[in-house]
Amino acid sequence: MDVMYTPPAEVFDAPRKKALYVGIVGLVGCAAGFVIAPGHAYRAWLVAFMLALGISLGSLALMMIQHLSGGAWGIFRRIFEASSRTIPLLAVLSLPILFGMQQLYPWSHADLVQHDHVLQAKAPYLNPSFFTIRFILYFVCWSALSMVLNRLSLRQDSGDVAVNMPIQRISGAGLVIYALTVTFAGIDWIMSLNPHWYSTLFGFLMMGGQGLAALCFTVVVATWLMPKEPTEGWLQPNHFADLGKLMFAFVMLYAYFNFSQYLLTYAANLVEETPYMIVRTNHGWQYLALFLVMFHFAVPWLLLLSRDRKRNPQRLVLVALLLLFMRLADLYMMISPEFAAAGGNLHAHAGEAEQVSQLFVHWTDLTAPLAIGGLWVWMFLSQLGRRPLFPVGDPYLREALQSSGGH
């Protein structure tokens, strides 16, 4: 069947070039930012990087879940796989975080550690050498999982049914590895921006946000591919309804994790925890907080209640695009309030919340998403065009196509 074949090269050529041009323009802007305003530039790079990484890792997790659960939504597995194969590029794009460690993390300054008993207690874990080792280990684990599962998927396409059980076993173990590495990476890269603050829910927040970002991105790509060869006529409303239901579930899940974190902090009223929330409800940040409540939860939740909207790709993709933007805004809210107005570090001790800068968008906050987003989309489209757009060896593919009107 034609649906089994790799799509024509011209389907991806034009958007790949556009994405690459956007990425280069963004890189030029970021390069200027690293020279002129390094504090702002490194912060903005971290925000944009975490969004792209979230899509890749969320897709890796969804791919493993689909291997374990089966179902018609596996028709989108090629998008998950292509997203996961961008992890090596993200490893390269993560280097500014290592190089900018002094600009980002208070615990990397020996003079601060000497005068702070909390940093001294956490020094065996939060120190530049161990941070770098963990940094490398995370990408080794993620890249290895992606490489092994993608190779087994190719063998499955060739008709090798013997790989079905290994794929499931590796996926089961891989989900455990994913959960652990994502939790510790979130602690390292975001939570330790304020090393006095901690949250036992932060790992769940990371995983929930990544799953939601990956689903939204998949909806956008699938809607774009829907009228093109060879997917034309094969992607049906039922398939998008599956993704819409999952998006609805992740919107509620992420809101639940966020509210639980806020409620527990409010109830405990500990001197180490409250500054994190006080900062984000003052100096203009409260408006961004309300914006997130409305458009990261309330509005998408109401829109996704509609069965017809979930079955209509052209309407569902608008919700997906909104949520992708809100994921960027949410990461901005996690990271940016920890920095002073000049772009340097803010070491926010208890009672020092008033020193935090007001809500402010720097021009590097725009160029960093262009740079990382453009290069990431270029790599994604390059990977997506190398394989058939459907997992032709998937034992559930026939059922998925027939259940939506295919043959």
Closest to 68 (Cα-Cα) out of 142, 176, 144:
176
Q: What digits encode the pLDDT tens for the residues 31-81?
A: 999 999 998 999 999 999 999 999 999 999 999 999 998 877 888 999 999
The pLDDT, as a whole number, for residue 328 is: 97
> Which residues share a beta bridge with 227?
none
Number of domains in the chain: 1
Q: Is residue 329 part of a domain?
A: yes
For residues 307 and 317, give the distance between their C-alpha atoms in angstroms, rounded to a whole number: 14
The answer to whether 277 and 258 are in contact (CB under 8 A) is no
C-alpha Rg value of the chain to the nearest Å: 22
The pLDDT, as a whole number, for residue 275 is: 87
For residues 383 and 147, give the distance between their C-alpha atoms in angstroms, rounded to a whole number: 13
Q: Which domain holds residue 79?
A: 2-402
Closest to 316 (Cα-Cα) out of 228, 219, 245, 236:
219
> Which residues share a beta bridge with 339?
345
- Could you identify the residue written with the tokens 């921006």? 193
Q: Is residue 211 part of a domain?
A: yes
Q: Is residue 374 part of a domain?
A: yes
Q: Is residue 407 part of a domain?
A: no
The answer to whether 121 and 198 are in contact (CB under 8 A) is no
Percent of the chain with pLDDT over 70: 91
pLDDT averaged over the chain?
89
Q: How confident is the chain (407 residues) per 10-residue block, as mean pLDDT?
A: 58 92 97 93 96 98 92 87 97 96 93 91 95 97 97 87 90 97 97 92 95 97 86 79 94 95 89 87 90 96 95 95 97 88 37 49 93 98 89 76 53
| Main-chain phi, psi angles of 345, to 5 degrees | -80, 145
The pLDDT, as a whole number, for residue 179 is: 97
Q: Is residue 274 part of a domain?
A: yes
For residues 82 and 261, give the distance between their C-alpha atoms in angstroms, rounded to a whole number: 33
Percent of the chain with pLDDT over 90: 69
Q: Is residue 144 part of a domain?
A: yes
The pTM assigned to this predicted structure is 0.92
How far does CA 344 lie from the centroid of its chain?
25
For residues 28 and 34, give the distance between their C-alpha atoms in angstroms, rounded to a whole number: 10
Q: Is residue 163 part of a domain?
A: yes
Angle (nearest 5°) at CA 248 between 217 and 44: 45
